[in-house]
Amino acid sequence: MIQETDSAAAPHGPLEAITDHIFRVEGTLEKGPPIKRVMTVVRLSGGDLMIHSAIALAEPAMKELEALGPVAYVIVPNRYHRLDAARYSQRYPQARVLCPPGSRKQVEKVTRVDGTYRDFPGDQRVRLEVLDGVGEIEGVVIVEDGGEVTLVLNDVVFNMPHRRGVGGFILRRITGSSGGPRISRLVRLGIIKDKAALRRNLERLAALPGLRRIIVSHHEVIDDEPARVLRDVAATL
Statement: residue 52 has pLDDT above 70: yes
Q: Which of 124, 74, 118, 78 is nearest to 97 (CA)?
A: 74
Q: DSSP letter at 167? A: H
Q: What average pLDDT does the chain have?
A: 91
**What pLDDT does residue 26 have?**
94
Statement: residue 219 has pLDDT above 70: yes
Statement: residue 6 has pLDDT above 50: no
How many Å from the N-terminal Cα to the C-terminal Cα in the chain? 35
Give residue 58's identity as a one-letter amino acid code.
A
**What pLDDT does residue 178 have?**
66
**What pLDDT does residue 173 have?**
63
Higher pLDDT, 193 or 164: 193
Question: pLDDT tens-digit profile of 147-192?
Answer: 999 999 999 999 977 777 776 666 666 676 767 899 989 899 989 9
Q: Helices in the chain by DSSP H: which ranges? A: 59-66, 85-91, 104-107, 165-169, 185-190, 195-206, 226-234
Residue 221, domain CATH: 3.60.15.10
Domain assignment present for residue 162? The answer is: yes
**What pLDDT does residue 35 have?**
77
**What pLDDT does residue 55 have?**
95
**What pLDDT does residue 2 have?**
31
Between helices 226-234 and 195-206, what is the axis angle to 10°? 170
Statement: residue 1 has pLDDT above 60: no
Percent of the chain with pLDDT over 70: 89
How confident is the model over 74-96, as a mean pLDDT? 95
Domain assignment present for residue 66? The answer is: yes
- 72 band by pLDDT with thresholds 50, 70 and 90: very high
Q: Residue 21 sits in which domain range?
A: 16-234
Q: How far apart are CA 103 and CA 190, in angstroms?
A: 13
CA 120 to chain centre: 17
The DSSP annotation for 70-104 comes to -EEEEE--STTS-TTHHHHHHH-TTSEEEE-GGGH
Q: Out of 25-39, 41-55, 65-79, 209-223, pick the least confident.
A: 25-39
**What pLDDT does residue 23 have?**
98
**What pLDDT does residue 122 have?**
86
Domain assignment present for residue 6? The answer is: no
**What pLDDT does residue 179 have?**
76
Higher pLDDT, 170 or 57: 57
Statement: residue 104 has pLDDT above 60: yes
Domain assignment present for residue 8? The answer is: no
Answer whether 137's CB lies under 8 Å from 100's CB: yes
Domain assignment present for residue 10? The answer is: no
Domain count, the chain: 1
Q: Which of 164, 174, 189, 185 is nearest to 34 (CA)?
A: 164
Domain assignment present for residue 223? The answer is: yes
Statement: residue 7 has pLDDT above 60: no
Domain assignment present for residue 169? The answer is: yes
Domain assignment present for residue 186? The answer is: yes
Q: DSSP letter at 172? A: I
